[in-house]
Structure 1
Amino acid sequence: MQLRAIISCEPFSIPCARSTAYPDPARGCVVVTGASAGVGRATALAFGKRGWKVALLARGTDGLQGARREIEEAGGSALVIPTDVADCAQVEAAAERAERELGPIEIWINDAMATLFCPFEQIAPEDFARATHVTYLGAVWGTRAALKRMKPRDCGVIVQVGSALAYRSIPLQAPYCAAKAAMRGFTDSLRSELIHDRSHIHLTMVQLSAFNTPQFDWGRTCFDKQPQPVPPIFQPEVAAEAIVWSAFHRRRELWVGFPAVKAILANRLLPGLLDQVLARSAYADQHIDQPLPPGRRDNLYEPVRGDHGAHGRFDDRAKSSSLQLWITMHRWTTVAAVVLLILLTGSLLA
């Protein structure tokens, strides 16, 4: 999928200029948090394939090195920066190193996350805090580090990787749902501040559906069955394309997948009904009838060793494309096609 309309920023240029051609990636870099696995890994590779220098941030060194190898094999370049995004000082140090070794940060992607599959009352307070610090405050610290460098240049893009759960929470994932909702509130507040300051920095949020990532193999759980994403499930490359596209198009928010659209709109119209439906179905929908493997480890406090890649264990069930996303990314083409169809139908019936 080719991107044609992008934001081009020369270092220290004011303001950002829109272009119909690719900029020279040598002028700057993109930072991706959560880049060792899942959607972050797929996103980092998508940028690398387009010639960008990618700063890879996550805790798991094995996964980061694997991402670096994939990017280099695709013809890009990457810098591994082991970082716990819950630590503001580590995020600031990572941003400083990225700019020192790769050039000005033009794009910052906040994707790192942690989740638990557990009823709220069974979650230890320190576990709830940890998941919140990674998923919510990790995005806050990343945004702070990016703004510190983008504001003097009055140029840059920050993409918050959100979820439909930022609008419609589900049971058994209270920390994650709350963190994504907090991220949305934070993003909306900051966006208004940037508009007030007449800033040319673009801030956007991508709301995802369910994706086939390794988080369901290492997310902490209170249950004796294996977790799964609520079907239907998409491959992480679908999310990666949406995130890359969002970095180059001035949309306030992008919804990815019909399930995200349905959840967000249904919650606006019938939130009480959804409460009842999810109470009945969401417990079973988040697990498969298979026991947890012996010795299973979670990554809440420490990364799970090994390179786990972008995909989880649901390749046989995951969709590799989204019609809804294509329509959203080509809305004027879609509108023109609908208008043409109406005109042709009218002429045939006349």
Structure 2
Amino acid sequence: MRRTVVVTGGSAGIGRATVREFARNGADVAILARGQERLDAAVREVEAAGSRALGIAVDVADGPAVEAAAERVERELGSTDVWVNNAFAGIFSTFMDMSWEEYERVTAVTYFGQIHGTRAALKRMLPRDRGTIVLVGSALAYRGIPLQSAYCGAKHALQGFLDSIRPELEHRGSKVHVTMVQLPAVNTPQFDWARARIDRKPRPVGKIYQPEAAARAIRFAADARRKEVWVGSTTVRAIGGDRVASPLIDHMLAGSGISGQSSPEPLEGDREDNLFEPPRGDPGAHGRFDREAVEKSWQMALNRRRNGVLAGVGLAAAALLIARARKYG
């Protein structure tokens, strides 16, 4: 049975890769994003994969517009089975160098955009008692870093939102599932069009993954019925490290957190950003870090098979105990 999947921010980066991933696996896909040129290109890719596509130009910060888009999806593609909240906005700047309008905009897109999407999806899924909503998060939902206070704050807020609504759904006995995917640094166009108040071009921190790795994890999360899915060894280290040594990480980031997000190339004076208006062109899913980015995550491969891995570890431990018992028995 074909599924209908909605992907917000689906015209570029992780969202574009996620649209391709679901279409390649037989789903009809609705793409919600601002840039019409990229929307049209994403629609063509879905149709080329043999699926139906619907591109809707919408700003997810506009709640009524998201609701109208959700209604159109149901009317033209059918009942929504999976809703992926992926759209976000960012700015590389120290907190005090940002204007209130900039901070509010990042929050409106990155946090409230996912709230609007979740509400629109739940409105339709709850009466049917089925469906999955995927919140796209980040390791930065647990561990904030310099220059990204607005983005990190929004991702932290989504973590609290998830913790609140999951027990609400369980209380009512709903079969609708809400999950969150915590991603590592990903090679997307955001580093070339996020607003920046630093001297050099922004770059990801740590190991970089290709957007296809994130897309596969998002599709996995849509089916796995887990509360969270962590992607990448760096995500595991960031979240785990913050839990055991948060003050030490603060100190480390004070020394290297800003320089670590800067490329050698100077920032262009005429740089076009996407904070308030969609930029021109269609970069697709990838950014400029293809030479550094990796295609797969060994951590995610183990995560997908964690039941088998745990069973294997258990069997190995049992065999070791039996061998020891025989030796010393």
Q: Above 0.5 in TM-score?
A: yes
Give the fraction of aligned pairs with identical amino acids, expressed as a percent. Answer: 52
Report the equivalent of 1:185: 160
TM-superposed CA distance for 1:341, in Å, is: 4.5
* Residue 64 (structure 1) shift: 1.3
1:40 partner amino acid: G
How many equivalent pairs are there? Answer: 325
For residues 348 and 225 of structure 1, the distance between their equivalents in structure 2, rounded to whole angstroms, comes to 59
What CA distance in whole angstroms lies between the structure 2 residues aligned with 1:339 and 1:146? 40
Q: 1:296-311 to 2 correspondence within 5 Å? A: 296-311=271-286
Q: Does 1:295 align with 2:265?
A: no
* Deviations 1:86-123 (CA, angstroms, capped at 9, x unpaired): 00011001101000000001110000000000000000
Amino acid in the other structure paired with 2:182: Q
Question: CA offsets, 1:250-284, max 9 Å, x none?
Answer: 10111110111111111111111111011111111
Q: In terms of mean alpha carbon deviation, does 287-296 or 103-112 score higher?
A: 287-296
CA distance in 1, matches of 2:205, 2:108: 24
Work out the CA distance in 1 between the residues paired with 2:13 and 2:313: 36
Asked if residue 225 in structure 1 is aligned to residue 200 in structure 2, the reply is yes
1:329 shift after superposition: 0.7
Per the TM alignment, residue 186 of structure 1 is displaced from its structure 2 partner at its CA by 1.0
Between the aligned partners of 1:336 and 1:160, the Cα distance in structure 2 is: 29
Instruction: Tell me which residue corresponds to 1:59.
Output: 34
Using the TM superposition, give the Cα deviation of residue 337 of structure 1 relative to its aligned residue in structure 2, in angstroms: 3.3
Matches within 5 A, 1:1-350: 24-25=1-2, 28-293=3-268, 295-342=270-317
Quick one: which amino acid aligns to residue 70 of structure 2? A
SS for the counterpart of 2:258 is: helix
Quick check: 1:234–1:318 contact (8 Å CA) kept in 2? yes
Provide the rounded CA distance (Å) in 2 between the counterparts of 1:149 and 1:346: 53
The letter for the 1-side match of 2:297 is S
The answer (yes or no) to whether the contact 1:50–1:76 under 8 Å persists in 2 is no
Letter in 1 for 2:211: P
d(CA) in 1 for partners of 2:291, 2:320: 40
CA distance in 1, matches of 2:60, 2:36: 14
What amino acid does structure 2 have at the position aligned with 1:240? A
- Summarize the Cα distance change of 1:196–1:339 in structure 2 as closer, same or farther, 3 Å threshold: closer
In structure 1, distance between residues paired with 2:290 and 2:13: 13
> Is the CA contact 1:48–1:74 (under 8 Å) kept in the aligned structure 2?
yes
Please tell me the residue identity of whatever aligns with 1:152. P
In 2, Cα distance between equivalents of 1:243 and 1:40 = 10
Task: Give SS of 1:155's match.
Answer: coil
Q: TM-score, normalised by structure 1?
A: 0.90
Shift of 1:335: 2.2
SS in 2 for 1:311: coil
Counterpart for residue 10 of structure 1: none
Counterpart-to-counterpart distance in 1, 2:208 and 2:184: 8
Q: CA separation in 2, counterparts of 1:240 and 1:206?
A: 10
Shifted more, 306-315 versus 333-342: the winner is 333-342
Q: Distance in 2 between matches of 1:336 and 1:186?
A: 33
User: How much is the aligned-residue C-alpha RMSD, in angstroms?
Assistant: 1.4
What is the aligned partner in structure 2 of residue 20 from structure 1?
none
Alignment partner of 1:318: what SS?
Answer: coil
SS of corresponding position for 1:203? strand
Distance 1:38 1:345 in 2: 47
Cα distance in 1 for residues equivalent to 2:319 and 2:266: 56
Structure 1 residue 294 displacement after superposition: 5.2
Give structure 2 stretches of 5+ with no counterpart.
none
| Paired letter, 2:30 | A
**Letter of the aligned partner of 1:231 in structure 2?**
G
TM-score (norm 2): 0.95
Segment drifting more, 339-348 vs 78-87: 339-348
**Contact 1:114/1:134 (<8 A) preserved:** yes
1:339 & 1:228 partners in 2: Cα distance?
41
1:316-343 CA-partner distances (Å, limit 9, x unpaired): 0001000000111101221233345556
Stretches of structure 1 that go unaligned for 5 or more consecutive residues are 1-23
Instruction: Name the aligned partner's letter for residue 102 of structure 1.
Output: L
| Whole-angstrom CA distance in 2 between matches of 1:104 and 1:275 | 46
CA–CA distance in 2 between the matches of 1:75 and 1:348?
Answer: 55
